[in-house]
Structure 1
Amino acid sequence: MSAPAPIPINTNVGNNTVAGVDEAHDLSPTSAMDRSKMDKLFANRPTPKELQDQGILKGEPNDALAAKKKKLERSMTEDRLDKDIAARPSPEELIKKGILNADENPTA
């Protein structure tokens, strides 16, 4: 499988628009206004602790496996619940044991 082709951009050369590829690899803001916007955004961004408290960041900031671990734990819990639900007694058994009344039978 090959890498995707670069996305062409339009650039203005004089009065003509020329299609080309941006190969500058520079994503930093070019104008002072853009730079000040970025500085303001970075100054107001939440801390890793705040992101953890909100449940956005799982584990420590540089823990690449934390989200996968959380997903595995959730999947294991779901499997355990599915197993427990499959093994629960039927309404008839609960009526025989006196846990449900006959008029509470959900299958009737």
Structure 2
Amino acid sequence: MSNPAPIPINTNVGNNTVAGVDEAHDLSPTSAMDRSKMDKLFGNRPTPQELKDQGILKGEPNDALAAKKAALERSMNADRLDKDLASRPSPEDLIKKGILNADENPTA
């Protein structure tokens, strides 16, 4: 798989428009209006702790393995639940032990 070619952009040099590739690697806003929009967006951005409290961020902000750890824990919990459900007593056994009444039998 090859790398995609850079996308040419039009830049203004004096009164001329020159086609080329922006190699400045500068993504900061150029106009005051764009800058104020970005400042407003970043000013309202939630903190990492708020994201953790909402369950969006699973670990520290730079923890690359946090999502995999959360997925593994979820899978382990699902496996544990399946094992516990498979080993639960039958309704007939619960009726014999007096935990369920005969009219509470879910299979009847």
TM-score by length of 2: 0.75
Residues 1:29 and 2:34 are matched in the alignment: no
Classify the secondary structure of the residue corresponding to 2:60. coil
Aligned length: 100
Structure 2, unpaired ranges of 5+: 11-18
The 5 Å alignment of 1:67-82 reads: 67-82=67-82
Give the CA deviation at 1:73.
Answer: 0.6
TM-score by length of 1: 0.75
Give the CA deviation at 1:40.
Answer: 1.3
CA contact (8 A) 2:95 2:101 kept: yes
The residue aligned with 1:40 is: 40
The residue aligned with 1:15 is: none
% identity of equivalent residues: 78
Structure 1, unpaired ranges of 5+: 12-19
Deviation string for 1:58-105 (max 9, x for gaps)? 111111111110111111011000010011111111111111111111
